[in-house]
Amino acid sequence: MDRSSSSARPTTAQRLASCFTGPGVGVLSRSLAAMLGGYALASVTSVFCAVALPGARGQAVLTGMLVAIIVCACAALWAFAARTALHAWAGILLPALLMAAVARALGAWA
C-alpha cells in the first residue's frame, strides 16, 4: 500500500486519488479477492477436478468439492498474506484462469 505524502494541504485531486490508494482500499480490495476471488478459485478447482481426475465421474466431482473447500480457505489466507493487493488478486486469478483453460481443453463448458 503506498501512501502519497505531501506537506501541503491535499488538493481535491489528491484527495480523490487517495480514495483509490488509501489503506482502506487495500483492505477492501483484498477482502473482495478473498471472498469473490476465493469462491471463483474454489469453483474452478471443483470443475477442474471433475474433468481432470481419473476414475469414475461421480467420484471426481465429489473429490473436487472436498478439495475446493480447502482451496477457498487458502485463497483467503493468500489474499491477506500477499505483499500488495495486486499480488493478492494475481495469485488467485492466475491459477483460476490456468485451471479453467485446462478444464476447457478437457471438454468442460463445451
Contact criterion met (CB below 8 Å) for 34 and 76: yes
DSSP state of 6: -
50: contact with other proteins by CB under 8 A = yes
Contact between 98 and other proteins by CB under 8 A: the answer reads no
Q: If you search the block for the grid coordinates 495469485, which residue do you land on?
A: 91
Least gap, CB of 32 to other proteins (angstroms): 14
Residue 74: name the closest of 98, 91, 97 by CA.
91
Residues 33, 64, 91, 92: which binds other proteins (CB under 8 A)? 64
Q: Does 99 bind other proteins (CB under 8 A)?
A: no
User: Under the criterion CB under 8 A, does residue 100 sit at the interface with other proteins?
Assistant: no
